[in-house]
Each structure stands twice: as C-alpha cells, then as structure tokens.
Structure 1
Amino acid sequence: MQAAVALADADGIESLSMRKLARDLGVEAMSLYYHVKSKDDILDGMIESVIDEMALPAADAEWKSALGERAESARRVLGRHPWAISMVDQRTTPTTMRHLDTVIGCLRHAGFSIAMAAHAMSLLDSYVHGFALQEASLPLDESGDIGATTEDILAQQGMTAAFPHLAEMGVELILQPGYAYGNEFAFGLRVILDGLEAAFTAEARSRA
C-alpha cells in the first residue's frame, strides 16, 4: 500500500490507477488482482495506512492532553496526505473502526457519557479535517506563510479601500514577522478542548 500512498501523495488520488500502480511496482496490472479484489481494496488499504500514522491515546490517558495530541497528529498526517482528507470518513475498515473505538474508550474511561463522547469526537474531527482542508487549499508557501499572496492582493488598485478590514488584518497580522496560518490551529484546538472540559464538568455536576 505504501506505493499507492506515495503515488497519491505525489500526483493526487485522481492519478491512482491499477495500471499506474502496477508500473510503479514493476509488475503487470493483472497480477495485482492476485493480491486485491478491486481498486476499492487498495483505497481501503491506503486509508488504513494513513490512519496508522496518527497518534492514538492510551485507554487510561488524561483525556484532554491525549485528544490534543491526537488532533495535532491527525493534522500533520493529513498535511502529508491531503488526498486522504475527504476519504478518511468515507471508508469504513477495521483500522478506522479500531481507531475510533480507542478514542471512545479513552473518553469513557475519563467519565464521559456516550453522548458527550460523541460530541467531543464530532467537534474535534470536524475541526481537524476542516483545518487540514483549508491548509491544503490556501496558497501557502513551504513554510506555511501566506504573506506573498496577501501582498499581491493588497497591491491591487482599490483593494484596501474596498475591503478595509481584510486590509487591516493583512497589514497588522499576516504580514508581521513570524506569522504563519498554521499557528491558528493551536488556538482553535485550545478553545475546543477548554469548551469540552467545561461541558464535561457541567454534565458531571448535573449527574451528581
């Protein structure tokens, strides 16, 4: 599956075909069918390979730091494999199910109700996948900087007057030394985890 993942990383998931994969492996396309039933089997295996790269919490881990580490890990992994962002939730495999089950187990061990665990997973995964999609879509340079694009936009005649608030953000934030869009992830993650902690505490008090 590593060859298929490497092919998708380099050229996008649209480039993946049995013929191209066979060529990269140095075999005939038909010989692949001795190992897999269809392209769907390959896609499932690719997603399992990506999921395996993501950090998983131990069952008895402190939930807040464990989920934070998982979120940061998932974002890094999806950044390496942007083609997988739209596929992670589409394909159900033993590996994806085991990953989700482990996260639920960590939350349940910490005292989360099933409903609150579902809220936590939905909120965090939506944020991670959405942020990863934005990073893959924005015109960022290799360092994660969007400054060059911002400068080009602000240099267009009339842009500052037409969009003063965007111009203010560009000049006072984005174009300042050290700014990188990726740094926004930590802020959002902290807000979400703090909010979940408050909701979890309130739920626990209501049951006491």
Structure 2
Amino acid sequence: MGKTKSAGAPAKEADVPRSIWERLETAPRSGRATLTHPQIAAAAVALADAEGLEALSMRKLAESLGVATMALYRYVDSKDELLELMIDAVVDPSVLTADLGDWRAVFREIATRHRETSLAHPWLVAAQAQVPNLLTPARNEVAERMIGALDPLPLTGDQKMQFIRAIDGFARGASGAEVNRRMMMERRGYGPDGDVRLLLRGSMQWLLRSGRYPRMAKLVRDGLAPVDSAAEFEIGVDAMLDGLAVRFGI
C-alpha cells in the first residue's frame, strides 16, 4: 500500500494553490478578456452595499456586469476569491497619512480607518469572517506601515506581530459589534443611529423589576448617557496602545 499524507503534515509548495494575487501578476494578457478584476470588485461592492452580503451571488453579479455566470469563473475561482477582491477594493492605504515616526499615531489612524470602512461597508465584517486569506495587496500595505512604525522600537518579530494582532483584533471586534448593533436597530425600525436604549427597554425593565442584578440596576437608575460609539472606540484604542506600550516596555 502507498503512503498516505498525514492530516497534520505540512503541504508541499507544489500542493499549495496560487493566490488570486499571484495569478493576476503572472497571467498573460488575453484578447478574450471582457472584464477587469477592479470592475468585478466594484460591481460586487456596489451590490453588497445596496443589498447586503447575503444577497450577493455569482449569478446576480454576472447579471449586473452583463455577462454569463460561468464567464465570471474565468476571473475568480470561488466566492472566497471574490470576497478577497471586495475587501481589497475597500481598504485604501492611500488615505493613511500619519508620520511613521509616531507609532501611536500610525496605529490609532489605522484602527480608526478600519472602523470608518466597516461602517461604510457593513458587509465587511461578515466577509472578513468568511475569507481564510486576508493577505491582499491593500491589507499588506497597511501591515507594512504598521511594521514600519514599530521597526525603530526594541521588539522582536514575534512581538511586532503580537502588537499588530492585538490592535487589529480590537478594531475588528469593536467595529463588528457596532455594525451589528446598527443593523439590528435598523431592522427594528429605530434607524442605524438610534438610541440603543430604546431597543433594550423591555429587557431593562425586567432587569430592574427582578431585583437579581443590584449593581446593574444601580447603574441604570443613576443614569447612563447615550452610547457614543466613536468616543468609546477612541478610548479603547488609546487604552490598548497604553497597555501594549507597558507590556513591551516601549
């Protein structure tokens, strides 16, 4: 009997399929091409912005582009590759202007920009959760800026990546929670910018009447201001940066 590959064995280089980005760089020019990848990405982003990611299909995208569905598979191998194109299209490194000599400003700007992009394209949260590979050219440029800002600091390569993952994780988590809250508010008829306390009125009244959660009840009775998502995000980013600076002694 022949040897079988162990489930945990690393794949050989020849077994790893080439990414769409490498294929785009190495593909010969063809006279048959009627679309470009930026055109496909822009059409997909427009559909997802208008109808949500769940409404995006290869068939609907093909219709919007005026081509047969199978024609799209000449450009992308799968829905995951389409999502990669879309993510890359909305991540714009050119808007990042913070001085690389100020690592705090660089990381704060990137985190804030991630929030702004997520709010502008609510489907981005779900798309990033579905795509296994987020090493797109635009995201790589953002990572280059983050690494560049950390290069002068006494950090190892692993520490730099821990630093980057910590900020990226916070930005994704906080932005995702805000996007989901806004979508829920809109579905319930309060509008995306409505006061979330309206949504929670029934549950809050039950909480107060139950008598089982005295600390939470006291906070509510003492009065809580409306949620200021932008301010809370800024506080969270600065707290993360302060904590990471202490953790890594920088």
Which band: TM-score by shorter chain? Answer: 0.7 to 0.9
Give matches, 1:96-135, under 5 Å. 96-135=139-178
Structure 1 residues 172 and 21: CA distance shift in structure 2, 3 A: farther
Instruction: Tell me what 1:146 maps to.
Output: 196
CA RMSD of aligned residues (A): 2.9
Larger-Rg structure: 2
Shift of 1:59: 7.0
Kept in 2: contact 1:57–1:106 (CA 8 A): no
Equivalence for 1:185: 233
1:68 CA drift (Å): 0.6
Q: Which amino acid aligns with 1:131?
A: A
1:44-193 equivalences under 5 Å are 44-52=84-92, 55-56=95-96, 60-88=100-128, 90-91=132-133, 92-138=135-181, 139-140=184-185, 141-143=191-193, 145-156=195-206, 159=209, 161-174=211-224, 176=225, 178-193=226-241
Unaligned runs of 5+ residues in structure 1 are none
Task: Answer whether contact 2:47 2:61 (CA < 8 A) is retained.
Answer: yes
Q: Structure 1 residue 155: deviation in Å?
A: 3.0
- Mapped to 2, the partners of 1:134 and 1:2 lie a distance apart of 26
Match of 1:196 in 2: 244
Cα deviation digits, residues 92-132 of structure 1 (max 9, x gap):
32332332233112211355442332222111111111111
Cα distance, 1:160 vs. partner? Answer: 5.2
CA pair 136-58 structure 1, distance change in 2 beyond 3 A? closer
TM superposition shift of 1:76: 1.4
Shift of 1:133: 1.8
Amino acid across the alignment from 2:197: G
Q: Which moved more, 1:10-19 or 1:148-157?
A: 148-157
Deviations along 1:18-55, one digit per CA (max 9) or x if unpaired, are 11112223333233344444433322211111222685
Does the Cα contact within 8 Å between 2:90 and 2:117 map onto a contact in 1? yes
The amino acid of 1:114's aligned partner reads G
Q: One-letter code of the match for 2:158?
A: A
Alignment CA distance shift 1:171-1:7 (3 Å):
farther
Contact 1:3 1:21 in 2 (8 A): yes
Identity of aligned residues (%): 31
Q: Structure 2-normalised TM-score? A: 0.67
Change (3 A) 1:169 1:185: farther
Alignment partners' CA distance in 2, 1:18 and 1:109 = 46
Amino acid aligned to 1:39? K
Residues of 2 paired with 1:48 and 1:97: CA distance?
10
CA–CA distance in structure 2, aligned partners of residues 55 and 173 of structure 1: 39
